[in-house]
Chains A and B, each alone.
Chain A
Amino acid sequence: MLILSLALRNARRNTLRSLLTGGMIMFGVALLTCGMAWTKGAFGGILEKASNVMGPVRIVMPEFAKKEQLMPLEDNIADVGPILTAVKATPGVVGAWARIQMPVTLTVGDDIGEHFALVQGADPEWFQRAIDLEHHVTSGRMFKVDDDASGQCAGGHHGRPPIEAVLGVAAAEAVGAKLGDDLILDGQTQDGSISAVKVKIVGLSELGSSAQNKFVYVSLATLQCMADIPGGATEVLIYGKTLDDAGDVANALKANPAMAKFTISPWNDRPPFNSIAGIIGALATIAVGVIVFITALGVLNTMLMSVMERTAEIGVMRAMGIGRLQTVVLFVVEAMGIAALGGVAGATLGAVVAYYGLEVHGVNLGNAVNKMPPGLALDAVIHGDWEPYMFFQAFGLGLVMAIVGSALPAVRASRIEPVEAMRSRR
């Protein structure tokens, strides 16, 4: 205990130097806290939003999975009704919706459209769940579904109400469409025949990224009709209670023999998530490593000076019989004592900045979000997510900085020969 007490008292010997060391650790720990909160908030948010759009668990035909970038309509699930019923009965599933997504050209008026867009067809409930579309309709309203699905292709004719659609503001600007206009979607059926549908623009939507603002949103029935997939869909998107449940839900579905002919995958097994998670993990590890290394270098510098100044004193203690290991402990504990104070200060400072600066206020990325892939739906303002465990994690890393930084000086101190005590004549 006396050795530990001595170590902690040594930490107070050179106040300025200890403050400098503690300050470096404080800065490093605060930076780590903010980094952790930012990573969790920004990347966690991206993953959550994107996986919501792409489905935490997804059922498709195997051929669709192989070439999904081409959005092959011919590789569809012909009859989704029984599939949805079976999926909803699976433990852990809280919601499941069918979806069709396909490329189209947009036409307003008599000219054949030159503007490409993606059209998504699904139940309004899914749009609500995945992108909260209703609240992002900035003018007009959310589309309504004609209960008579058989008439979706013929909306607006023979006394039927028109087919309704919500159009992203960027797409509307590109084709010169406005609220209330008729818009012709030129696409194709599952067998490759040309297919066109006229819709009425009942709402204009503005989401976080410009990619999403080029989308057209319609009912599933509209695209079933347009693609000639009556009662079918290209994808079934399944939701558990949380994203973390996706693996369990996928496994439960795979255990159902009726699902054997489908490809069932949780979000993190599909591109781009399967590579993004690894990249995020690697980047975070590198960032933590760099911060710990740089801070440890600062600790090493000041502790080395400390050892050099105390050569005679260490020699005296070695002469009195203190062992090499005890000498190492003496200096490592001294550094840890300083790190404990710096760590608490840094974790507190980091928590304040991370919570009020990153989580509450957020960081506006501006146009940078528009460079993200369409599937990765991002808001321009990214918010951090500070959690209490980060305080302790960053504090622990502060102690690691101290141990790493003081290891070399401590070993150097332990190699001081006792005879140095005799040479210390002032």
Chain B
Amino acid sequence: MSTDPNGQAGQTPLCELQGVTKNYPMGDLVVQALRGVSVKVYAGEFTAFAGPSGSGKSTVLNCIGCLDRPTAGKVYVEGQDVATLSDGALGVVRAKRIGFIFQSFNLIPVLTAFENVELALRLSGAPTAGQKERVEEALRSVGLADYMKRRPAQLSGGQQQRVAIARALVKTPALIIADEPTANLDSKNGAAILDLMRSMNADNGTTFLFSTHDPMVMERARRIVRLSDGSVVGDERHDGAVQAASPSHVGA
């Protein structure tokens, strides 16, 4: 049994972790980052994975985002067990189906805002025809129509994160993974960015998964999966209803 507070019976999860364990060797020691985590995420969710540092929230997102492989367990994205895919195939999944937003924005400094977004679209293998229009539309949707030719150093932190959102959105991915997207922003910009993502979720049904310990993010999340020491310890909806994780998922 996995945590499934939405209980969307009959619907196939967009992504699912089944008993995922992740160990990291550190010298002679082995650090257990995840201890049998199971969780289902459905299309259209706006979900935050919350917990203190070292709780495993980023590791969960790494596994869902095909950035890392679990030591044990299964990871399904759109019904496909990605843990068994080759590096090349994982790259294709990432390029086409998953968008990323990073805490430090991580834009390519020598490319303009337009080119940063364009690079992501090109790597996704999208048809050349209409690429320019798609990039412009993505930047317009995050309110940067007038900043397309600027380089990251010429943009504020909030604007850079907007470019990162446009970069993630432009290829119309199945889900967007945002790793502490507001951590490097002031509260005003952070709130604006979250509202932008929330409206995209509401308007377009784009699925967002966050890792965070920012209360502002958790306030806006419609679902919060809480982790501690590599285990799911809580899974609650936006209205605050908490569904305790089954014992098998609470620690090892």
Contacts and interface: CB of A to CB of B under 8 A. Distances in A.
A2 B122 CA distance: 9
B119 interface: yes
A424 B111 contact: no
B110 A316 contact: no
Q: Which 6 A-B pairs have the closest CB atoms?
A: A321-B95, A9-B110, A316-B106, A419-B67, A321-B123, A419-B68
B179 interface: yes
Nearest to A11: B110
A323 B122 CA distance: 12
Interface in A313-338: 313, 316-324
A421 B119 contact: no
Contacts of B104: 312, 424-426
B92 A321 contact: yes
Contacts of A12: 110
Nearest to A423: B58
Contacts of B180: 425
Contacts of A405: none
B102 A422 contact: yes
Given A319-B100, A321-B124, A422 B95 contact: no
A323 B104 CA distance: 23
B223 interface: no
Interface string B45-76: 00000000000001001100111100000000
Interface string B78-117: 0000000001100110111000101110101111000100
B225 interface: no
A426 B184 CA distance: 9
B109 to A, nearest CB: 7
Nearest to A9: B110
A212 interface: no
B88 A418 contact: no
30 contacts: A2-B118, A6-B119, A9-B110, A10-B110, A13-B110, A312-B106, A313-B106, A316-B100, A316-B106, A317-B108, A317-B119, A317-B123, A319-B94, A319-B100, A320-B95, A320-B100, A320-B120, A321-B92, A321-B123, A417-B67, A417-B68, A418-B66, A418-B67, A418-B94, A419-B67, A422-B58, A424-B102, A424-B104, A425-B104, A425-B180
A171 B134 CA distance: 91
Q: Which of B96, B106, B123 has the most CB of A within 10 A?
A: B106
A320 B94 contact: yes
B108 A6 contact: yes
B111 to A, nearest CB: 6
B94 A323 contact: no
Contacts of A422: 58, 61-62, 67, 102, 179
Contacts of A313: 106, 108-109
Nearest to A12: B110
A319 B65 contact: yes
B227 to A, nearest CB: 15
B110 A425 contact: no
Given A12-B110, A318-B91, A426-B104, 8 more contacts: A2-B115, A313-B106, A313-B108, A317-B119, A320-B119, A324-B87, A424-B106, A425-B183
Given A2-B118, A316-B100, A323 B88 contact: yes
B151 to A, nearest CB: 10
A213 B99 CA distance: 84
Contact of A421 (B67, B115, B122, B123): B67
Nearest to B92: A321
B100 to A, nearest CB: 5
A13 B88 CA distance: 29
B51 to A, nearest CB: 15
A49 B58 CA distance: 76
B103 A425 contact: yes
B106 A323 contact: no
A316 B96 CA distance: 15
Contacts of A317: 108, 119, 123
Contacts of B118: 2
Contacts of A318: 91
A313 B102 CA distance: 11
Interface string A396-426: 0000000000000000000001110110111
A305 to B, nearest CB: 17
A313 B106 CA distance: 6
Contacts of B183: 425
A307 B227 CA distance: 34
A237 B15 CA distance: 89
A277 to B, nearest CB: 50
Contacts of B88: 323
A194 B88 CA distance: 90
Interface string A3-41: 000100110110000000000000000000000000000
B91 A419 contact: no
Nearest to B120: A320
Interface in A300-317: 312-313, 316-317
Contacts of B95: 320-321
B52 to A, nearest CB: 15
A313 B124 CA distance: 18
Given A421-B67, A422-B179, A321 B106 contact: no
A411 to B, nearest CB: 15
A132 B42 CA distance: 96
A381 B106 CA distance: 61
A47 B123 CA distance: 58
A419 B67 CA distance: 5
A12 B151 CA distance: 14
